[in-house]
A and B are shown apart, each in its own frame.
Chain A
């Protein structure tokens, strides 16, 4: 990278968070130098991509100074000491705004860190800003944010995926930092795949949702978007575990530190290649890549078998019903009375409808209406009730499949990143982005997406692996062993950084 203004030598741009920590430990640069430069990356590349919507320079530099002081005085250092990170706009942070990329919450200050952010900071990680996303995390292209669209760093005319599009564009374009996203139906994995980043959706309940602006509570999980699986594992190990302020959170076993990661022993020996993930509906280049990686896994000593998930075709419809139902209720609190922008009116009914019509964007309104409909008297059994039934079937099928194999493998997205604006007016085409990702959310199981090369157009291809509840670290071990085979993932897009 070259010298920083303070005279220290900065890490190379593609360096992972773990490599950055080693760099700082070796005294090659100070944390203030590192953070100072990363803030400039956010201000330039991050802003240019539309990915960074807030840069918290003052608080980040103050934290960096404290970190340097800790290091200088020999005080104990955190597991993520000095590492910069961003939080998605729907994750509460003490500084800045948490507007979920919605005009409804314009200027909303949470004033308190979410549990995940607080745990990361307690281990020395430094919050540097907030990332763009789809409004209330509803979308797969990051085109519904009131902060504007995000551009894919590999092709700026294309979408970065969504809803954690900002986090993915940042992770895909520059190293050092990690980025917190949230995944309700693929919102971490799909943008990670589109932008060439690693993304983990943890087991539901593994990471506290406290401080996450809720979309579909039974599906939502906060997770990391990083350069590689080792970083994801470290970040997860810091933020995971039961939280007294989230009754649905819990501890899971197999917490590992990344230094212990595999390579010696094969994690997840038996891999199930999901045949429904390789149908004609999936881009042939992506299918081809999946088969090549399968061969690679075999060479590494894995057994790969084909597994059929007959429920996969029902998953997206099921997801749309459950996610919108929960969203319609979760977003009711933005009523203009207590929370959310108010449009004044003499009449209460009118105040509600005007505030909500003006505050919410079109996609959010569409989902609220859908969700309200599927829960309505006369329809609830046919839609929500049926979807709950199907969800149960999906869960059963996944769990019984995971009795025969350790992990289920699929592409993340059925197609490559598409052009900005290409699908924005066609909700069904956008919902199709989720067909391979929603299953993990519906079943509550962990899934990791890693970059696995590029298509002929030079666009990243991502593949994902699902595991049993609580198998997050084993999945990350598997991902690490794959990433150790081939470091193509290290490459940054041309012009992605300054």
Chain B
């Protein structure tokens, strides 16, 4: 019998806000343990949560880019459980009335065809702190992360392969990064994923019993765990067994899933409405304000590049990888660089530099405006490509500004005196070649050019050199 794998996703994304969700403490603080805390986020008796509007704005942008139906009224609930990194004994979440319903995640099937994973809902909730278990058996608790804002994106189940499930999460990651809702670094844990897996006989439309794989933190683990878990389920069913509804853990090293707890052991969270927070109202003005603030979305940008700039599809891949890449490129074009050169310089010089250092475009020391000026200068024949590249190399020193380098170098036209000397020297040293050229054989021209370029350490402008040689010989 052939089997079909059905996958549902629950994606937890940390919102990249300045403050925590219910207090003014700095979020994402790299401060040492328990430095970014206050009475509210540590659940001090008498302290009350106050929803920070930045979290709402962020959540609206997420819902917009996943095309959800944003609810005018939503509410927070308490999810009650005991754990040392949860100082209030409950987590403020949205259970009964989430702020966004529906929507979908665009992704690509393995055969390259476009598809969409429909969403059930997105809700806001606060994160817990961190427990650090030492080897001597003691546990330490760091509450810096406690009460940081999270989004939980919950999908419908859909027939998918592991690779496609991973591609869905990648798509969410890219979109949330694009609209600056989440940093999306899975290795840092600011995007985590729970995956529900079930299998059913091919052609069936009745889902099998699902298991939940908790806390997957890489695309590879999502892809592999779905594959491995569905294979396990198929084997159980083929041998006449039954699938137990349970939570399982993915062991990345051994490539197996292991039972963590059954459904009957799953905690009873005793959700009830959070009495300390009023109903959340998201008015259409709030939504429109965020919509207006959204950047150009990737599919719009891509089609514009393909149509207006005439980029080949393949060329756009590194440019689309991060929104900031495209923003830099657009800035160069806005400052006068032609789209073709801008793309060439980005994919060549810039990416080489960034990749060598594992840096991002935000770290690139040269301003898009200055690089555009250099590109224009080359286009206008004021510099050779080689000269321009060496100027850019010099400008990678953060102390050096490309703008002043361009200014100081002026154009190579100003070097006519030096150039004339080099030309005269080469003519004097190569009488044979000169004779040939005088006879109409232009072949030695390349050799002479090479000699002059060598003398100028590559800085001479080839066109000027050619003009000077012709002038001398005529």
Contact = CB atoms under 8 A, between A and B. Distances in A.
Interface residues of A, number: 42
B462 interface: no
Interface in B39-93: 39, 42-51, 78, 80, 82, 84, 87-90
Nearest to B274: A217
Given A333-B88, A372-B270, A114 B46 contact: yes
A380 B270 contact: yes
Choose among B46, B47, B268, B278 the residue with the greatest number of A CB atoms under 10 Å from its CB: B46
A98 B78 CA distance: 25
Interface in A59-106: 92, 98, 100, 105
Nearest to A244: B50
Interface in A335-355: 335, 337-339, 348, 352
Interface residues of B, number: 28
Nearest to A204: B275
Contacts of A331: 89
A185 to B, nearest CB: 14
A108 B45 contact: yes
Interface stretch (A207-215, A302-310, A472-480): A207-215
B60 to A, nearest CB: 19
A331 B45 CA distance: 9
A288 interface: no
A110 B46 CA distance: 9
B433 interface: no
A339 B278 contact: no
Interface string A225-265: 00000000000000000001111100000000000000000
A210 B47 contact: yes
A348 B45 contact: no
B275 A213 contact: no
B49 A247 contact: yes
B405 interface: no
B114 to A, nearest CB: 40
Given A209-B48, A376-B270, A329 B90 contact: yes
Contacts of B49: 247
A377 interface: yes
B396 to A, nearest CB: 48
Contacts of B141: 337
Contacts of A348: 84
A377 B89 contact: no
A6 B156 CA distance: 79
Contact of A338 (B42, B271, B272): B42
Contact of B276 (A100, A217, A334, A339): A217
Given A209-B48, A380-B270, A332 B82 contact: yes
Given A332-B82, A335-B89, A211 B46 contact: yes
Interface string A471-496: 00000000000000000000000000
A352 B278 CA distance: 31
Interface in A316-370: 325-326, 328-329, 331-335, 337-339, 348, 352
B46 A213 contact: yes
B257 to A, nearest CB: 26
Nearest to A205: B278
Contacts of B278: 247-248
B324 interface: no
Contact of B87 (A100, A209, A328, A339): A339
Contacts of A217: 275-276
A45 B58 CA distance: 57
A332 B269 CA distance: 13
A105 B46 contact: no
B120 interface: no
Contact of A333 (B45, B48, B271, B272): B45
Contact of B46 (A212, A377, A380): A212
17 contacts: A98-B45, A100-B45, A112-B39, A209-B46, A210-B48, A214-B276, A244-B50, A247-B49, A248-B276, A329-B89, A329-B270, A329-B272, A333-B87, A338-B43, A338-B84, A348-B84, A352-B82
Interface of B: 39, 42-51, 78, 80, 82, 84, 87-90, 141, 268, 270-272, 275-278
Given A212-B46, A245-B48, 4 more contacts: A248-B278, A333-B88, A334-B45, A375-B272
5 A-B pairs with the lowest CB-CB distances in the bound complex, closest first: A332-B89, A218-B275, A375-B270, A217-B275, A338-B87
